[in-house]
Amino acid sequence: MSVLVLAEVDNGVLSPATARIVNAASQLGPVDLFVPGPRAAAEAAASLAGVAKVMVSANSLLADSLVATLSELAVLYPYMVASASSVGKDVMPRLAAKLDIQPITDIVAIEGKNRFVRPIYAGNALETLVDDQPRHVLTFRASAFAPAASGNTAPVEVLENTVQSAAQLIATHRTESDIPDLATAQIVVGGGVSVGSAEGFQLIEKLGKTLRAAIGATRAAVDADYAPNDWQVGQTGKIIAPDLYIAIGISGALQHLAGIQGVRKIIAINSDPEAPIVRIADVALIGDLFEIVPQLTAELERLGIKR
């Protein structure tokens, strides 16, 4: 019983989510990892504990071509697994339908070889499913699982890429930054629409930089163009589960709370003591974010926070 895992590759680099997906998948059996990307990403993948074999191919990340490759590999595996990322969400349901399998996606807990838990209704309920199909197509939320250790030296096999996509990638818009990956960060600083402007978000970013945190934003803040879309946290954005989330000027709309349910500790900075986020925060400071955030950044710098 082994598991075929689709590795996450972004911009030619193995994403930190892959280590977490491998660790989760290895609960189901030995993991063979398919890396759609360059050889260097495959070498990084081969070091993950639990990986029996790496297969690498210069495959495009478009759904129809990835599914064509995966469905050929899939015949050997009872489990096909990916991260519940924008690639995994795009590809795995298509793969499942092609193989006539009902997939289970966004899994946050593995309770056995065929029993899985996933959130529904924006995380306001949890569904426990038993999957008695002979083969399984699954996606896991990377943030819900710890990363696999490294130090392994699994063999790397190069596959020839012969698959063409009907769709064609004609442009990419990447937010360039050295900010840590939001989906797997240990600390996240998030801003809401009360931050008021893109300039206001620089206060959030400065605090984030001091803490070496990833930056998140609410849907309203992204819609208002204060923050790029890849910072959006919530039911329709990224799901995060850091040890610490500092929510600044965020009221706590249901769809945002859906994205932060796995956070270990929430600190809220908000002018409204009745805001929903304040009612669920572990620590809250009530006041004007434009006064508090610069002071807090200065104070943390004075304390010499080093990570």
Partner 1 sequence: MKILVAVKRVVDHNVRIRVRPDGSGVETQGVRMSMNPFCKHAVEAAVQLAEAGQADEIVVVSIGPKPANDVILTALAMGAHRGILIETDQALETLASAKLLARVVDEEKPDLVLLGKQAVDDDSNHVGQMLAALTDRPQATFASGITLEEGALKVTREVDYGRETLALPLPAIVTADLRLNIPRNAALPMVMKARSKPLAVRPAAEFGVDLTPRLKVEKISPPPERVAGSRVGSVSELAAIIAADIDAMEAI
Nearer to partner 1, 4 or 267 (CB): 267
In the set 25, 104, 148, 227, which binds partner 1 (CB under 8 A)? Answer: 104
- Rounded to whole angstroms, the Cα distance separating 27 from 247 reads 34
Minimum CB separation of residue 53 from partner 1 in Å reads: 26
Binding mask 187-226 for partner 1 (x = CB under 8 A): x-----------------------x-------x--xx---
User: Restricting to residues 130-189, which ones interact with partner 1 according to CB under 8 A?
Assistant: 130-133, 165-175, 183, 186-187
Tokens of 33: 């990892």
Minimum CB separation of residue 130 from partner 1 in Å reads: 4
Minimum CB separation of residue 269 from partner 1 in Å reads: 8
Distance of CA 70 to CAs 33, 121, 212, Å?
Answer: 11, 30, 37
Distance of CA 80 to CAs 27, 56, 95, 248, 274, Å?
Answer: 13, 16, 9, 39, 45
Phi, then psi, of 291 in degrees rounded to 5: -85, -45
Judged by DSSP in three states, 270 sits in: strand
Phi, then psi, of 245 in degrees rounded to 5: -125, 120
Nearer to partner 1, 23 or 154 (CB): 23
Q: Which stretch binds partner 1 (CB under 8 A): 48-56, 147-155, 195-203, 259-267?
A: 259-267
Tokens of 7: 């590795």
- Rounded to whole angstroms, the Cα distance separating 95 from 236 reads 22
User: Restricting to residues 226-245, which ones interact with partner 1 according to CB under 8 A?
Assistant: 228-230, 235-236, 238, 243-244
Q: Is 87 in the site for partner 1 (CB under 8 A)?
A: yes
